[in-house]
Structure 1
Amino acid sequence: MSVQDDQRENQMVDRFNLDVPEDRKRSDIDAYLTVDGHEVAFELKSATSRGVSTVRDLGANHFAKWKNMHWIFGFYNRDGTRLLHSYYASPEDMAAWISSKEEYVRPDVELAEHAMRGISADSVIRLLGEKEFYTKEEAKWVMKNQWTAARYAEQADLTAGNEIRYSLNRMTALMQERCNYVMSRGATLNNPHIPLKYIEKLPQITNEPAMNLRRLVRDYLEKASSTDDATA
């Protein structure tokens, strides 16, 4: 995130009186709001142009995360120094846009999963040779920096003293995971924009932002609760 984007996000947090996770730099949540005992997670987006950028490599992890997120879109003046107005989006409001992007990449996701299932013990033997066991160094050669040191130890199914070892079956599973990771990175969209015409249909917030945001969130939660009760 650029310094200017970070400054805008901080301004939006202050304007709407939101809470920020302690591990904000690493967290998947920009901010959250507690309403009537419900902790509501927010995605914060700002823009000065026609449309809002999202993320690089938009894929399955983002789709899963965003389906339960609430959003605030802040629109700034041309030089990005003054917040003009904002829009609030509930998970229901964003569902159509998220689903359209998820559907767009679905063929690539299916191809990645199919390729992963094609990895077998023969694949390991062709790459590393047929051995009684495989070493941590060989596992790291396959997995690269995808795993932490602790994960390499957890995944080992053979040991000899302090030496970490992997069976052929376990190394096959490692190679399948790596294949899925590599293939899935291609099953993404590069920073798709949310068009202004989509955002302009959302409730706009201009005055008393903190109070009006809470009202909108409360209305959504009450509606969602009523729907759940009706279908129970």
Structure 2
Amino acid sequence: MFSTTVIFQMTVQDDRRENELITLFQLQKPANATRSGTDAVLYFNGRYIPFELKSTTSYSVTTVRDFGLTHIQKWQDKHWLFGFYNKEGAKLNYCLYGSPQAMEKWIHEKEAYILPDYKLAQLAPELLTFNVLYKILGQKQIYTLEDARRLQKKQYTIQQYRNQMDLTQGYSPERMLAILKDRCRYLIERGSTLNNPHIPASYFQGWERITENHAQRLRELVAEFLDYKA
């Protein structure tokens, strides 16, 4: 298990390398950027093109923890830049550009892997009945806030718990069954995520290595993709 110090050091290193790529390729940080959003944008021919930035000290590339359907939706139209560093992470050896078309095969492979679980997450909750609810919480005419918390734990805020109440002092069996279904859906979706799937070195076979004129070459490659897409 990583210590907090190690995780912090890794995050700092990732941020440093990400900023290096942004500078090298003359990209921009998007307004109100978050770690789950767009890493950088390229202003090109009057439009902002979103980029996902990844760096590695090996020949394969790690992606994200808890990879799920939201990442697939987020990445489908993204352009990618990969920075390949030496083992110490101090020297940039070369970069690769991945257009949405180039990354499509890998993304679709991951989507096909997790999609059955997500379909299960939509279908299974609807099979739950009052008998299942009664076996978990007992049969009651009114369920309390404590009952709801036994199901949803910290997945709801206190305001969300209160908004779900359909009775003066709590929840009807119908509303509690809906909360149980919501919990079931969450658990299956959570269990269907992949733990940091790698993009293997073999996937990049034949890709052009960018080692000089980084900003200019990137714009040439993006222009080629846009011409192809048109």
**TM-score normalized by the length of structure 1:** 0.83
Contact 2:42 2:50 in 1 (8 A): yes
Query: Is 2:191 the partner of 1:186?
Result: yes
Query: Is 2:143 the partner of 1:138?
Result: no
117 and 159 in structure 1: CA distance in 2 versus 1, 3 angstrom threshold: closer
**How far apart are 1:214 and its partner, in Å?**
2.3
Whole-Å Cα distance in 1 between the matches of residues 112 and 197 of structure 2?
14
Which range is displaced more, 38-47 or 21-30? 21-30
120 and 201 in structure 1: CA distance in 2 versus 1, 3 angstrom threshold: farther
* Match in the other structure for 2:14: 5
Contact 1:43 1:71 in 2 (8 A): yes
For 1:63, give the aligned amino acid.
I
For 1:96, give the aligned amino acid.
K
216 and 133 in structure 1: CA distance in 2 versus 1, 3 angstrom threshold: farther
123 and 69 in structure 1: CA distance in 2 versus 1, 3 angstrom threshold: same
* Match in the other structure for 1:221: 226
* Match in the other structure for 1:158: 166
Contact 2:58 2:86 in 1 (8 A): no
Query: Is 2:107 the partner of 1:102?
Result: no
Whole-Å Cα distance in 1 between the matches of residues 150 and 13 of structure 2?
39
* Match in the other structure for 1:124: 133
223 and 168 in structure 1: CA distance in 2 versus 1, 3 angstrom threshold: farther
**How far apart are 1:86 and its partner, in Å?**
0.7
157 and 147 in structure 1: CA distance in 2 versus 1, 3 angstrom threshold: closer
Within the candidate set 53, 58, 76, 1:44 is matched to 53
**How far apart are 1:81 and its partner, in Å?**
0.8
Whole-Å Cα distance in 2 between the matches of residues 222 and 38 of structure 1?
14
**How far apart are 1:157 and its partner, in Å?**
5.0
**How far apart are 1:129 and its partner, in Å?**
2.9
Whole-Å Cα distance in 1 between the matches of residues 144 and 31 of structure 2?
38
Residue 61 of structure 2 aligns to a residue whose secondary structure is coil
Residue 179 of structure 2 aligns to a residue whose secondary structure is helix
Residues paired across the two proteins, number: 221
**How far apart are 1:46 and its partner, in Å?**
0.8
Structure 2 residue runs of 5 or longer lacking an equivalent are: 1-9
**How far apart are 1:22 and its partner, in Å?**
4.3
Contact 1:33 1:40 in 2 (8 A): yes
Which range is displaced more, 51-60 or 140-149? 140-149
Structure 1 residue runs of 5 or longer lacking an equivalent are: 227-232
Which range is displaced more, 185-194 or 196-205? 196-205
* Match in the other structure for 1:17: 26
Q: Deviation per CA, 1:139-178, whole angstroms, max 9, x where unpaired?
A: 2221112233343344x25253xx6x33322222221121
Contact 1:93 1:202 in 2 (8 A): no
Contact 1:89 1:203 in 2 (8 A): no
153 and 212 in structure 1: CA distance in 2 versus 1, 3 angstrom threshold: farther
**How far apart are 1:37 and its partner, in Å?**
3.2
* Match in the other structure for 2:4: none
* Match in the other structure for 2:180: 175
Amino-acid identity (%): 43
Q: Deviation per CA, 1:74-130, whole angstroms, max 9, x where unpaired?
A: 111232112121111111111111111221233333443443222223322322233
Q: CA RMSD in A?
A: 2.3
